[in-house]
Amino acid sequence: MQTRRIRWHIAVFLAPAVLVYTAVMILPLFNTLRLALFTEVDQARVYVGLENFRTLFLDPLWSAQFWNALGNNFWFFLIHMLVQNPIGIALAAILSHPRLRFAALYRSAIFIPTILSFVIVGFAWKLILSPLWGIAPSMLDAVGLKSLFAPWLGKEEYALTTLALVSVWQFVGIPMMLIYAALLSIPEEILEAGEIDGITGASAFWKIKLPLILPSIGIISILTFVGNFNAFDLIYVSQGALAGPDFSTDILGTFMYRTFFGFQLQLGDPYMGSAIAGAMFAIILVGVCVYLFGIQTRMRRYQL
């Protein structure tokens, strides 16, 4: 009986990446979770177990800020799911049409904002939307819609939605390219068989292409969920650490930053900041697990 040979070269090639990832991601993660179990009393570290989490969830001083940031995070994520991903799928379907001219140019133009710095995007859109020197009022005035303009980044009811749409503009190229790649991977034989049965045009997309790219859409949904609950940069650049106006754009990332490092008159508390980071990790982990369980359940039903 021939023994199975161990492929040591795989471990050798993976080792550097695993070591780097462990050093810069895994160890800091566990150290942050460990730090959430302590607090400082008389300049000494004291173990308090889950007391920091109880304070975060139940203490009125902390819970109001936490639930406000969590609700804003969910709204931020919902806009991306309902606006960014459908637009990305639609763009991919259009750009994958074999008869479309200059498709490569369009793909590049849509994807370019994705590689721009958050600082550039944040400041650029602050200048565009400024009621004093921005070009948005004059552009709306040119088409007779100046009455619709408002200081969207300065009003509590509009600020978070405006920033979410800016983020959609920046990152719509990611789902577009992923879905585009999935559409190109569909075998031509399947599409030709559909044409023989009279399934062409838009009906071919809904009846043939869309069911085949559902796994890719599921991956995009997970990436959108994780990315939006780790969001920080755009809010910080555009609205500052206080996430104004009046914390209306505050999300878990900015809340954790203010708590951990301190800001202006607020002293930093690394223990409560670690508790917020631990809550963020738990939310992301539970969300991803629930989504994967749902996908697995659907696949089992499909096989049955």
Give the distance, in angstroms, between the CA of residue 95 and the centroid of all CA atoms in the same chain: 24
Which pLDDT score is estimated for 258? 94
Q: Mean of the pLDDT values across residues 20-32?
A: 92
| pLDDT, tens only, 216-240 | 998 899 999 999 998 999 999 999 9
**Residue 259, number of CB atoms within 10 A of its CB:** 25
Amino acid identity, residue 105?
A: L
pLDDT of 74 strictly over 90 = yes
pLDDT at 3: 64
Buried b (16+ CB within 10 A) or exposed e, 57-80: eeeeebeebbebbbebbeebbebb
- In this prediction, residues 239-268 reach a mean pLDDT of 90
Supply 77's token pair: 């994520």
Per mean pLDDT, which range of 6-15, 160-169, 281-290 is the poorest? 6-15
Residue 22 has pLDDT above 80, yes or no: yes
Nearest Cα neighbor of 226 from 152, 291, 130 is 291
CA–CA separation, 204 and 198 (whole Å): 9
Query: Is the predicted pLDDT of residue 33 greater than 70, yes or no?
Result: yes
Is the predicted pLDDT of residue 147 greater than 90, yes or no?
no
pLDDT at 254 over 90: yes
Do the beta carbons of residue 149 and residue 131 sit within 8 Å? Answer: yes
The yes-or-no verdict on residue 202 having pLDDT over 60 is yes
- Tens digits of residue pLDDT in 84-140: 999 999 999 999 888 888 989 999 999 999 999 989 999 999 999 988 888 888 888
Residue 7 has pLDDT above 90, yes or no: no
What predicted TM-score, i.e. pTM, was given to this entire model? 0.89
What's the whole-number mean pLDDT along residues 151-165? 93
d(CA 83, CA 166): 11
Angle, CA of 158, 150 and 162, to the nearest 5°: 35
Q: What is the model's pLDDT at position 139? A: 87
Mean pLDDT of the chain: 89
pLDDT at position 302 over 70: no
| DSSP per position, 99-123 | T-TTHHHHHHHHHGGGGS-HHHHHH
Tell me what pLDDT residue 174 has.
Answer: 95
Between 151 and 292, whose confidence is greater?
Answer: 151
pLDDT of 198? 83
Indicate the pLDDT class of residue 196, thresholds 50, 70 and 90: confident
Give the per-residue pLDDT at 2: 60
